[in-house]
Amino acid sequence: MDGQFVGPMPVADFLKAFLPEATTPCPPIGGRFHKLRSAPKKKFEDQFISAVNASGICPGLDLFNTTTKAGKQYAYDQKPDISVCIKTRSVDADPTTSPGDSSDSEAGSTISEEESSATTSVGSGESSSESSDDAISSGSEYVPEGRPSAHKPSHAVDWFAMELCIECKPHEHDPFSDPSPKNTADRDTYNFERISKRGTEARGQLISYASAHMSMQFRAFCFSVCLLNQKDARLIRWDRSGALVTERFDFTKEGSPLAEFLWRFSHMDYAQRGHDMTVTRASKGEISLARSHGLEGDIHKVLVVNDADKAEHHILIAAPTEYKLVVTGRASFGNIGVDMETKAKVWLKDSWRINVDEIEKEYAVYSKLEKVHVRNIAPLVCGGDVGNQETVTQKYADAAWRYGKVDLLPHRHYRLVLGIIGRPLKNFNSTREMVRAVYHALIAHWDAFFLAKVLHRDISGGNILIVEDGEETRGVLIDWDLSKEESVETAQPRRKWRTGTWRFISAAILMNTSKVHEYWHDLESFAHVITYHILRYRPWNLQSFRSYMDHVYDSTDPQEDSDEVLGGKGKQAFFGDIYFEARTLKKVMPPHLAGVINELRASFKFSYKSGEEYDDDREKAHLKLQSPDLYLGILERYLELDDWATDDKSDDQLKAKPSGSQACGTGRKRKANFNDSTFVPRDFKRACRERDRDTSSTLTRITET
C-alpha cells in the first residue's frame, strides 16, 4: 500500500467529514484518559477499556482485550489489541433478516447472555449514559452481515463481530510521521509513511487488520484507531482506494477528539460505519431454496440493481469457505448463487471497478460482446453499481494538509451476475481439458477483438473457466472489467497504471511501462497461461523447479531512482530457452506437452532478441502475432493427437513441501505493497510455497507519458 495513505488530516476535519454529530453531546471524561499516561504498559489495554466504560462514551458497543488471543476464523495470526463489537443482545432479540421475510429467519442472535457474562469482565462498568436514541442499541435494528451469520466474541478476536479495531503502539512504532510546523520540504518528497523498520512493521499490522475486517464482512469501508505511547492517537478510515490518516493528537486531554470519535461512532448507523446494507441474512424459506441448489453454510441475500432497466434482482449466496485478504484495489470475489426470480444457479461477481471514464462497466462490455455473437463467453444475467458505494480517499489527494507522495485510483462497488457455473482452469481433470479450455478462450478473445474491437487486457488462469458442455467441457473467458475498446485514443497510455495479472503479463509491458497494451501482448499471456499450468499443476522431475518458477513468473525489479517496479526478465529468459530449456522439457514430459510449450515459446523467440541483425526476423514474427491463427493452429494440431492421458488431473506442485530437486527458489521476492489484490498478512512476505494467486489482478504503476 505504498503511496495509498493520505495524511496527516486534521482530526477536526476527519470528524466533520466522516462522523455525524450525535443528537446529545459527548459526556465529559474527567481525568480518566489522563491517568492512562502512567498506567503499567502490560495493563494499558484493560485500563483503557475501563476508562471508556466508566466515561460512558461508547454506548451500544463492547470493548474486548484481544491482545494475546487470535481468532480461529482463518489461518493468519491477527490480534488487534482491542476489539470493539456490538453490545451483547439476548438470544431472543430479533435481528432483522431479509426484507419482508424476517419473521421466519433461522438466524440467531449475535451473542448469548451467558457468553456476555463470560467476556465482559474487563472494564465491566456499564455505561449509565446509554442514549435512548442510539440506533445501534435498538432491538429492531438491522444486524450487519459478517460472512457467517453468528459469532461468539470473547477475548479471542472475532472478525465477524468487529466494528472497530484499536491498536496500541509505543512512540517509536508510529507508522506515520507528521511534518513539523516549520517544515518547508516539498510535500511530494516528504515521507509521511514512516520508513523505519518499526514504523513499516506497525503499518503492516494495521493493513492486515483492515484486510481481515474488510474481507470477512460485507463492507464498503471501515475505521480503526492507533494509540501511541499511552497519550496520543491517530484515526484511520480505510476504503478500496487507500486510507485517510489523521494527525497525531493527544487523546488524554479534556475535550478529547478520541472521546468525541467513540461517542459519535457509537451513535452512527451501520451504513455510516461502513456496512454494506444491500446484503441481508436469508429467511428460512430462502435458505431452503439455497439448500435445494446445493449451497451450504450461512446463506445471504444480495441485491443487484441492473444497469439496463434498474430492475432489482436478489441472489442467494453461501458464505465462503476461505477468505481472500484484500484492502485496496478491485477486491473481486466470486460466489455460486441462486437467482430468486428464475430459481436458477448463477455466478455472482462482486468487485470494486476502477471508476474512470475510459474503462467501461463490465455489463456494458458483455452487452457489446453479446450483440456481435462472441463465442465462448458467459451469458449475461444482470449487473450494475451498488448504490452510492464509492471510494473517497482519492478525493483528498490534493488536500493542502497532505504530505507524502500518493498514487490513488477511484473505485466503485459493482456486481455482475452471469448465467454459467464453471471450474477454475487450475482444477482441470486432464491436461487436454486445460489446453482445450484455453483454446476456446483464445477464440473468445479474437472474436471480441475482431468483431467488437474490444481487447481483454487481463488474460490469466483465473479468468478462464472450464464449463460442462454435454459429454465434453469447454473454456469460457470471463472478467472483462479491465478490457478496453481499441480506438485512436489508445495510441498512447494516459494513466499511471498497467492492467493484468503479474505472472501472466507480457514481458514487453513488464520491462517497458510506456508500452501501449496491444493484441499480441494478450497472445503472449495465453502462452504463459498454458505453460504455467502444465509446469505447476503436474509433477515433473525438474531441477531448480521452484527457483525457475519464481524467476519466470513472480520476480520483480524495483527501480532505485523511481517508484516504478519492472519485471519480465524471467519471461525474456524463458523465451530465450534459458529457463525450462526445450531439450529438458522433452526429456521429462510427454512429447505433446513439451511440444505445445516449445512451439508457443518459439513464436516469441525473436520478439525479445536485440540487435539490428534480428530486425527482419522480429518483423516477420510480429506480423504472425497480429491474429490467433498461429496459436490456434498449434493447439488444434496437438489436440487432435491420441497421446493425451485422461487421468493427468491437476496436482499443485507449489503447495507441496520442498524436497530434493524441488528446493525452494532463491529469486527476489515480490513486494507486498504492489497494489496486488492479495495480501499476506502475518509478515507480508510471500513464502515460495504460498503462490496460489492466479485470480489476483494487479494495476502496475507507470510514469506519465
pLDDT per position as a tens digit, 64-88: 999 876 655 554 567 899 999 998 6
pLDDT for res 588: 96
Measured between alpha carbons, how far is 464 from 459 in angstroms, rounded to an integer?
8
Helix (H, G, I), strand (E, B) or coil at 232: strand
Per cent of the chain over pLDDT 90 is: 67
More confident of the two residues 357 and 368: 368
- Structure letter (DSSP) for residue 72: S
pLDDT for res 690: 31
Helix (H, G, I), strand (E, B) or coil at 664: coil
Respond yes or no on whether the N-terminal peptide bond of residue 8 is cis (omega within 30° of 0): yes
Mean pLDDT of 185-193: 88
pLDDT for res 34: 94
| Burial (CB count <10 Å: 0-12, 13-18, 19+), residue 367 | middle
CB atoms within 10 A of CB 379: 12
Q: Cell digits for 80?
A: 488487534
- pLDDT tens-digit map of 416-447: 999 999 999 999 999 999 999 999 999 999 99
Domain-embedded: residue 508 = no
Helix (H, G, I), strand (E, B) or coil at 555: coil
Domain-embedded: residue 98 = yes
pLDDT for res 326: 85
3-state secondary structure 589-629: CCHHHHHHHHHHHHCCCCCCCCCHHHHHHHHHHHHHCCCCH
Task: Among 345-349, 465-469, 483-487, name the one with the lowest average pLDDT.
Answer: 483-487
- pTM equals 0.82
3-state helix, strand and coil shares in percent for the chain, rounded to the nearest 5 = 30, 20, 50
Containing 465, the helix (H) or strand (E) segment is: strand 464-469
Mean pLDDT of 540-552: 93
34: domain range?
Answer: 5-267
- 659, pLDDT greater than 90: no
Helix (H, G, I), strand (E, B) or coil at 355: coil
- Is 88 in contact with 62 (CB distance < 8 Å)? yes
Per cent of the chain over pLDDT 70 is: 80
pLDDT, averaged across the chain: 83
Measured between alpha carbons, how far is 527 from 507 in angstroms, rounded to an integer?
12
pLDDT for res 143: 52
pLDDT for res 495: 53
Domain-embedded: residue 606 = no
At residue 567 the predicted structure's pLDDT band, cuts being 50, 70 and 90, is: confident
More confident of the two residues 380 and 87: 380
At residue 705 the predicted structure's pLDDT band, cuts being 50, 70 and 90, is: very low
Structural domain count, the chain: 1
Domain-embedded: residue 253 = yes
- 678, pLDDT greater than 70: no
- 347, pLDDT greater than 50: yes
pLDDT for res 496: 54
Q: Cell digits for 198?
A: 518499526
pLDDT for res 687: 28
Measured between alpha carbons, how far is 76 from 256 in angstroms, rounded to an integer?
34
659-690 CB burial, b ≥16 within 10 A, e <16: eeebeebebeebebbbbbbbbbbeebebebee
Domain-embedded: residue 153 = yes
Mean pLDDT of 22-27: 96
At residue 616 the predicted structure's pLDDT band, cuts being 50, 70 and 90, is: confident
Q: Rounded to the nearest 5 degrees, what angle is found at the Cα of 648, between the Cα atoms of 646 and 653?
A: 170
Sequence-ordered alpha helix ranges (H) in 543-700: 545-549, 569-575, 582-588, 591-602, 615-624, 629-639
pLDDT for res 77: 62
What's the Cα-to-Cα distance from 501 to each of 148, 459, 555, rounded to whole Å? 30, 7, 13
At residue 610 the predicted structure's pLDDT band, cuts being 50, 70 and 90, is: confident
CB atoms within 10 A of CB 531: 23
Measured between alpha carbons, how far is 688 from 547 in angstroms, rounded to an integer?
9
pLDDT for res 59: 95
Measured between alpha carbons, how far is 59 from 57 in angstroms, rounded to an integer?
6
